[in-house]
Amino acid sequence: MAVDVATVRRVAHLARIAEPEDRLQAIVGELNGILAWIEQLNEVDVQGVEPMTTAVEATTPLRADEVTDGGDPERILANAPKAADGFFVVPKVVE
């Protein structure tokens, strides 16, 4: 499977990365180089194989449903690009 300019434009939008139109063709070339190399995986017989999602099998640990942290707005906001009155300031999202 190879990608074209329209696919790269769509994927860049899904990834929320602005890619200028004049860069798209170059990206198509790079991604197709990588994808062509990845195609080797089609040679492997994976009939009946369970996907492996974790390197070490372990059961998910559970903890008591208790508050262990929080109540610290200054530290939470310390790195905010914009903050006011104990809140993050974000662009208007509802007209």
Partner 1 sequence: MSSLTNLTLKAALDGLKAKSFSSEEITKAHIDAIEKANPSLNAYVLPTFEHALNMARASDARLARGEGGELEGAPLGVKDLFCTEGHRTTAGSKILGDFVPQYESTVSANLWRDGAVMLGKLNMDEFAMGSSNETSAWGPVVNPWRSKASNAELTPGGSSGGSASAVAADLCLGATASDTGGSIRQPAAFTGTVGIKPTYGRCSRWGIVAFASSLDQAGPIAKTVEDAAILLKSMSGYDPKDSTSLNVDLPDFPSFVGKSVKGLRIGVPKEYRVDGMPAEIETLWRQGIEWMRAAGCEIVDISLPHTKYALPCYYVVAPAEASSNLARYDGMRYGLRADGKSLTELYENTRAEGFGNEVKRRVLIGTYVLSAGYYDAYYVRALKVRRRIAEDFEKVWGKVDAILTPSTPSAAFALGDKRVDPVTMYLNDVFTVTANLTGMPGISVPAGLDANGLPLGLQLIGKPLDEGTIFSLAGALEDAAGFRAKAEKWWA
Residues engaged in binding partner 1 (CB under 8 A): 1, 3, 7-8, 11-19, 27, 30-31, 33-35, 37-44, 46, 49-56, 58, 60-61, 63, 75-76, 78-82, 88, 90-91, 93
Cβ(3)–Cβ(32) below 8 Å = yes
Minimal distance in Å, beta carbon 67 to partner 1?
15
Question: Smallest gap, in angstroms, from Cβ of residue 78 to partner 1?
Answer: 5
Instruction: Tell me the C-alpha distance between 62 and 76, whole Å.
Output: 26
> Per DSSP, what are the bridge partners of residue 88?
83
Q: Which residues pair with 87 in a beta bridge?
A: 84
The least CB distance from residue 80 to partner 1, in Å, is 6
Which 3 state secondary structure label does DSSP give 78?
Answer: coil
Nearer to partner 1, 65 or 79 (CB): 79
